[in-house]
Amino acid sequence: MLHIVDDEVVVRDALSWLASSRGIAARAYDSAQAFLAEVARGQFDADGDCVLLDVRMPDMNGVAVFDQLAAKGWTRRLPVIFLTGHGDVPMAVDTLKRGAFDFFEKPFNDNELMDRVQEGLAGSRQAGASAAVQARLATLSAREREVLDLILAGKMNKVVADQLGISMRTVEVHRAHIFDKMQVKTAVELAGLLK
């Protein structure tokens, strides 16, 4: 989902149309508060999210919005592309150093902007997938983590049992729990998920 945050209706409409021409779902917000209220729900799109954020808005400027997203650690899941009609090189450099995805000055090249939006969406998808894998890993017990490490090292159940001083049946139970929690069916799938 492309989130368009701009106080000018003409800009929101143009960017929404541009996104739809590329098959990108978009939602437009007329203020920083409206966008932040939506984001506060913490529901991210499985296909990725990206934010086009106007720098100058009357209620709260784009940099303040970015700072709130960064403080919550959401800038990897919500890549921010700044849009400004007033080129400010030091501001652009500063926001990029602090994790903004890109900075475009109006008027911008439509294709270049949408290419960067698509890159942002792809990065967001990867960050979301990585967060999901980390959440699954967090559900493993300490012993399951030990078994997991040995499975990933290519050890057979008998070797795992010998190394950990447990029965082969216990290794099989741990292995089944690991596969279930990680939502995989084979050790190859597991290795692919964690590479």
Q: What is the pLDDT of residues 12-68, one digit of tens each?
A: 999 999 999 999 999 999 999 999 998 888 777 767 899 999 998 988 999 999 999
Label the pairing between strands 80-84 and 102-105: parallel
Contact by Cβ (8 Å): 65, 5: yes
Phi-psi region of 45 (alpha: psi -120 to 50; beta: other; left: phi over 0): beta
Q: Domains along the chain?
A: 2-136 (3.40.50.2300), 139-194 (1.10.10.10)
pTM: 0.71
Q: What is the pLDDT of residues 158-176, one digit of tens each?
A: 999 999 999 999 999 999 9
Q: Which residues contact 95 (CB under 8 A, 6 or more apart)?
A: 63, 66, 80, 82, 103
Using CA atoms in the order 65, 23, 103, 69, what is the torsion angle rounded to 10 degrees?
A: 20
Contact by Cβ (8 Å): 22, 118: yes
